[in-house]
């Protein structure tokens, strides 16, 4: 089975996206995948400065937690990003991390499948579209990879509310079982 790397981008303790991420991970493990989970909580991830030195060296000139995360991303078969939706977009820390993964572009990365789980207060179908589009733009830069699936869980607003939402928990678990 695949080596799956799940990256949680919410900075809240016991956030709704983290609660659903736990169910996704359980589904992936039950499907036989080896799963590693990284939370961006407490991580130092500086903004990309756009110097492009990484395109020659495959190393970022900045020294922070993004270096170690990038190495784990490079060596995973499957990536899953989980994010709350803020202002109809992925979290800022997710976008900052995606920018900092620029050293992987010229590298011999392993990942082929990329997935996203998103959570929002709003519940309309269009809510995750910009977040999905943003991740698709990142994936499009990696010709061997594809955005293989997304799951949106809307209508969840109060802190910890997802812990009482069995339907969304089951959807997240089932989504985890479908990872390739």
pLDDT digits (tens, 9 = 90+) for 133-171: 999 999 999 999 999 999 999 999 999 999 999 999 999
- Phi then psi for 5, rounded to 5 degrees? -110, 120
Please state, rounded to an integer, the average pLDDT across all residues of the chain. 97
Per-residue pLDDT, averaged over 115-125, amounts to: 97
Burial string for 55-88 (b: 16+ CB within 10 Å, else e) reads eeebebebeebbeebbeebbebbbbbbbbbbeee
What is the enclosing helix (H) or strand (E) of 97? helix 92-100
Q: Is the pLDDT of residue 27 over 90?
A: yes
Closest CA to 92 of 126, 62, 47, 148: 47
Q: Within 13 Å of residue 42, how many CA atoms lie on the same side as its CB? A: 3
At residue 161, the pLDDT reads 96
Q: Is the pLDDT of residue 37 over 90?
A: yes
Phi and psi based region of residue 4 (left: phi greater than 0; alpha: psi -120 to 50; beta: remaining): beta
Neighbouring residues of 148: CB distance < 8 A, sequence distance ≥ 6: 113, 114, 115, 180
Domains of the chain: 3-177 (3.40.50.360)
At residue 1, the pLDDT reads 81
Q: What gap in Å lies between CA 70 and CA 57, rounded to an integer?
A: 14
HEC states along 18-41?
A: HHHHHHHHHHHHHCCCEEEEEECC
Give the tens place of pLDDT for each residue, 58-72: 999 999 999 999 999
At residue 13, the pLDDT reads 87
């Amino acid at each position: 089975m695949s080596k799956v790397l799940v990256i949680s981008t919410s900075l809240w303790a016991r956030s709704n996206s983290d609660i659903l991420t736990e169910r996704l991970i359980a589904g992936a493990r039950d499907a036989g995948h080896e799963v590693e989970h990284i939370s961006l909580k407490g991580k130092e991830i500086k903004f990309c400065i756009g110097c492009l030195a990484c395109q020659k060296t495959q190393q970022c000139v900045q020294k922070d937690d993004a270096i170690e995360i990038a190495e784990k991303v490079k060596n995973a078969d499957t990536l899953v990003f989980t994010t709350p939706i803020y202002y109809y977009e992925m979290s800022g820390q997710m976008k900052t991390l995606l920018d900092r993964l620029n050293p992987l572009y010229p590298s011999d990365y392993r990942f082929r499948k990329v997935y996203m789980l998103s959570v929002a207060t709003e519940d309309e179908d269009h809510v995750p579209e910009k977040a999905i589009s943003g991740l698709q733009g990142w994936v499009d830069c990696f010709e061997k990879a594809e955005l293989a699936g997304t799951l949106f869980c809307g209508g969840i607003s109060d802190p910890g509310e997802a812990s009482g939402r069995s339907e969304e928990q089951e959807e997240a678990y089932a989504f985890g079982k479908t990872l390739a």
